Amino acid sequence: MTALAAKAPPRAALPRRSSRIALRLLGWAVTAVVIVSFWGLGLEWDKVAQLPGDLAHYGALMFSDPNWAMIPEALFQTWRSVSMAWVGALLGVVLSTVLGIPAAQGVGPIWLRLPLRWLFALIRAVPEVIIAIVILTVTGLTPFTGALALAIGGIGTHAKWTYETIEAVPAGTAEAVRAAGGSMVEVIRWGLWTVARPELTSLALYRFEINVRTSAILGLIGVGGIGDMLTTYTQHREWDTVGVLIIVVIAVTMAIDAVSGAVRRRIMEGARARGLERIS
C-alpha cells in the first residue's frame, strides 16, 4: 500500500478564486469616472430634456423644403473633399507601406522596428484636425493642406495594419527565398508582398473610405470642401441649404462605401480562391 501511494500521481492544484474585492473596486472606479465626467460637462438637464424637440424643429427646417438649387455647388465641393481624401489616401498608403513593412517582425532589425512603431503610435495619438492646423501655418487654407493632414494622420494606423498583415503571412515562402540567398528586398518582394498584396490592397481602399468621412470634418477648419461649405451656411443659419448639403454628403458617402466595399470583397474572394487552388 505504501508503494502504491508513493507511485500515485500528485493531485492537480485547484485554481484560486478571483478576488471579488478587486472587481468591486474596479466597478466603483468606473462608476466614479462616469459620474465625474458628466459633472465636468456642466450639463443643463432641462436643455437635455428639450433636445428631442429641438432636433425635430431643426430637422424640419433643413429637410421640409431643401434648397435644391445648391446641388451643383454642393456636388462640386463634395468632389473637392473626395479628391482631398483620394490624394491623402494615395500618399498615406505609399508611405505606410514603405515604413510599415520594415517594422514587421522578422523583416527589419529591432533597432529599426522599435523606432518605427513608436513613430506610428505617436502619429495615432494626434488627430488629423490638429495635424491640419499645424500644416496650414505653412501651406495655408487650401485643400492640399487637408490632403497632407490625411496622409500624415493615416500613417499611424495604416502602417500598423501593414506590419500586422506582413507578420500574418506564412513563413514558408519567405524562408524559401532566404534559403535561396535572397536579400531582404527580394524576401519582401517575392516572399511577403505576393501573399500580402490582396489584403494590403483591401486595406488601402478602406483607408480611402475613412478619408472621405474625415475630409468633411477637416473642411470645418477652412481647408475647403463640403465641410467648409457646411460651416459657412450653418453659421448663417440657412437651414434649407444645410439640409441639401447633408443629403449630398450622405448620398455620396454611401455610394463610395458601397463601391469600395464591393471591390474589397472581390479582391479578398479572389485571393481566397487562389489560395484554395494552390492547396488543391
In a domain, 107, yes or no: yes
Mean pLDDT is lowest, of 22-26, 43-47, 209-213, for 43-47
Tens of pLDDT, residue by residue over 112-134, are: 989 999 999 999 998 888 888 88
Q: What is the pLDDT of residue 222?
A: 77
What average pLDDT score do residues 4-21 get? 58
Is the Cβ–Cβ distance between 96 and 160 less than 8 Å?
no
In a domain, 45, yes or no: no
In a domain, 50, yes or no: no
Residue 255 to residues 194, 207, 247, 251, Cα–Cα distance (Å):
30, 16, 12, 6
Q: What is the pLDDT of residue 280?
A: 52
In a domain, 159, yes or no: yes
Q: What is the pLDDT of residue 30?
A: 87
pLDDT band at 140 (very low <50, low <70, confident <90, very high): confident
Distance CA 11, CA 99 (A): 52
In a domain, 62, yes or no: no
- What is the number of domains present in the chain? 1
Q: What is the pLDDT of residue 234?
A: 87
Query: What is the domain range of residue 181?
Result: 70-279
Residue 278 scores a pLDDT above 70: no
In a domain, 251, yes or no: yes
pLDDT over 90, % of the chain: 18
In a domain, 11, yes or no: no
Q: What is the pLDDT of residue 117?
A: 94
In a domain, 205, yes or no: yes
Distance CA 182, CA 176 (A): 9
Q: What is the pLDDT of residue 88?
A: 92
Q: What is the pLDDT of residue 277?
A: 52
Mean pLDDT is lowest, of 19-23, 108-112, 243-247, 256-260, for 19-23
Q: Would residue 269 be called left, alpha or beta, if left means φ above 0 and alpha means ψ between -120 and 50 degrees?
A: alpha
Q: What is the pLDDT of residue 215?
A: 85
Tens of pLDDT, residue by residue over 70-79, are: 899 989 988 9
pLDDT band at 19 (very low <50, low <70, confident <90, very high): low
pLDDT over 70, % of the chain: 83
Q: Any idea what the CATH number is for the domain that residue 194 is in?
A: 1.10.3720.10
